[in-house]
Amino acid sequence: MRPTGGPLLSAVHGDITEEAVDAIVNAANTRLARGGGVDNAIHEAAGDADLRAACAELGGCETGDAKATQGFALPARFIIHTVGPVWSGGDRGEDDLLASCYRRCLEVADQLGARSVAFPAISTGVYGFPPERAAAIAVHILRTVPTAVQAVHLVAFDAATYRLYQQLLDDAPHAPG
């Protein structure tokens, strides 16, 4: 369901590196160095040497922030790198930091003029954020934060995360607050 003025949200089960969108989001580390999971896949598909050089010029990225590079060999024109929080039990601001990742990615997408963006499940892999909680935060922020982005793909590599996104998107939008 699409809130007035908000992007159309859809769940996709697949490989984020194959998304034909203006920008894909990379779940990065603070050094913006090649890591594991989705970060590794993005570096490989974009062209590791080019992406490493571009990331080095950015000087790292703080948790909850986002920075952009070219998409290089990807179908996407841009990569928005964001650093999600490491789950530490939920009492160290993890929810707010994850929400900040989604907000900052939308802000960067707007600055780039991107109208379509694909997001992975930020922080749910090696960073250990509970998938259900992370998906709920993602959908809430993407439904409520003002943006010029018109389409958002929530890309799930695994079937369980895809089902989480589908369930949340099938629910009626919740009022902010």
> What are the residue numbers of the active site?
39
The structure tokens listed for 22 are: 């203006």
The b-or-e profile of 107-136 (16+ CB within 10 A means b, else e) is ebbeebebbbbbbbbbbbbebebebebbbb
The Cα 97–Cα 167 span in angstroms is 24
Taken as a whole, the chain contains a residue count of 177
The b-or-e profile of 81-91 (16+ CB within 10 A means b, else e) is bbbbbebeeee
